[in-house]
Structure 1
Amino acid sequence: MARILIVEDDRLLNEGLSYALGNENYDIVSSFSSAEGLIAFRSHDVHLIILDINLPDRSGIELCKEIRQVSDVPILFLTAKDTEQDMIEGFESGADDYMAKPFSMAVLSQRLKAILRRGGGEDNPQLFSDKDLTVHYDKMKVYKHNQEVKLTTTEFKLLSILTRNNKMVMTRQMILEKLWDLDGIFVDENTLSVNIKRLRHKIEDDPKQNVYIKTVFGIGYTWGSEG
């Protein structure tokens, strides 16, 4: 599920957007000022930001520039500032798209889908979040409680297989075949068991509870948490 951060000081509009996009199965994080938006961005792994320019504390343009220093998350300006120069300034600050108010909710929805497709946010997501665990597939990094977890290459690929197929039970043979396809290096049953054990110790709060990686006895493993 893609997570969208809405930074909009008009509470009625913010709430209306949150309701409408929530009904389209997006996970919504709302904020009402630039400061709140920055805190929300730093606290959540968001896939797209809807950003107003006229915010009460400082311009959305400045917030966009600050976010662009550390992230390439897609940003769509949704604003009443609709002159050609306003749009140029928005794009120069790092925006991916620009819509003027008043707007069509149907058109906004389609634009969001297009942005997420281009960025891999729907069909080929580059980020997976569950509870306090976040996996960045493109950067090959994993964070637990906002602290980076150091994984070996095989451990990371194993985690990627399980999280990318989190609605499935993966047989041991399926996992071994995928590891073979990714690595070109032979991984046997014993090596798989060892890597599962090591991975659990690194990502589980209590490896004996196995909240994330569940064993399906006699078959294989499945990603057990639902967020």
Structure 2
Amino acid sequence: MKNILIIEDDRMLNKGVAFALKKEGYNTMCAYTKEEGKKLIQQNEVDFLLLDIGLPDGSGLDLCNEIKEKIDFPIVFFTANDTEEDMIKGFESGCDDYISKPFSIEVLKFKINAILKRSDIHSKKLFVYKDLKVDFEARRVYKRNEEIRLSATEYKLLEILCKNKGRAMTKEILLDKLWDYNGNYVDDNTLSVNIRRIRKKIEDDSKNPEYIITLFGIGYTLGE
């Protein structure tokens, strides 16, 4: 049973969300300030965090940054501000998604279920999709049980896409994750070159890919 922490200073909203999620079979914990939330994270196993951006004793953005430096679990922001600039700041701080107030509890439950499903894939040591198999622990890739040799950057890029199967990964997100991985700046052209190289190695027809799909104007996704 997954443990969901809700950090939201609106007590009625906090308790209402907690009640709805309990009915879905989740364990829920409630905090109303940044410090209360941090204590609960230190004292309990948390699988998912619903976090308000504007808290009485600090910014949810700052708390998200603090958490992601030490622990990696999904975070969704509650926000009354859904401008492009605010959303970018949130994603830069490490959040997985946003939900704007006021919101439908059904939409919230859908987001939580979808993100936790992706998170479960992320935590697995072996990824299998069609004829492709990626062993995250050994850092090896197989197609029809034959090993495929990838460069460090190619492997990391494929690993990111596998762990986010079905999710639209923007070029900006991919570039940021690759930069973090090897400490060097990776530009848009380098990303495109690595995508082409991976496709040549894992696709039966690299011009009509069935694994790494281009989302025009957005980025890439692995799988349907």
TM-score normalised per structure 1: 0.53
2:12 match: 12
Cα distance, 1:78 vs. partner? 1.1
Matches within 5 A, 1:1-227: 1-120=1-120
Distance in 1 separating the partners of 2:80 and 2:58: 16
Cα distance, 1:16 vs. partner? 0.3
Cα distance, 1:125 vs. partner? 8.2
Distance in 1 separating the partners of 2:48 and 2:22: 14
Higher helix share: 2
Counterpart amino acid of 2:28? Answer: I
Residue 41 of structure 2 aligns to a residue whose secondary structure is helix
Deviations 1:96-123 (A, max 9, x none): 11111111111110000001000118xx
Distance in 1 separating the partners of 2:68 and 2:42: 13
Distance in 2 separating the partners of 1:35 and 1:101: 23
2:212 match: none
Listed as ranges, the gaps of 5+ residues in structure 2 are 126-135, 138-224
**Whose Rg is larger?**
1
Q: Which runs of 4+ in 1 moved over 3 A?
A: none
Counterpart amino acid of 1:53? Answer: I
Q: How many residues align?
A: 127
Residue 45 of structure 2 aligns to a residue whose secondary structure is coil
Distance in 2 separating the partners of 1:62 and 1:118: 24
Distance 1:23 1:59, change over 3 A: same
Residue 119 of structure 1 aligns to a residue whose secondary structure is helix
Listed as ranges, the gaps of 5+ residues in structure 1 are 127-137, 140-227
Question: Contact 1:50–1:75 at 8 Å: present in 2 too?
Answer: yes
TM-score normalised per structure 2: 0.54
Distance in 2 separating the partners of 1:105 and 1:88: 24
Distance in 2 separating the partners of 1:42 and 1:66: 12
Percent of pairs identical after alignment?
48
Counterpart amino acid of 1:5? Answer: L
Distance in 2 separating the partners of 1:34 and 1:79: 15
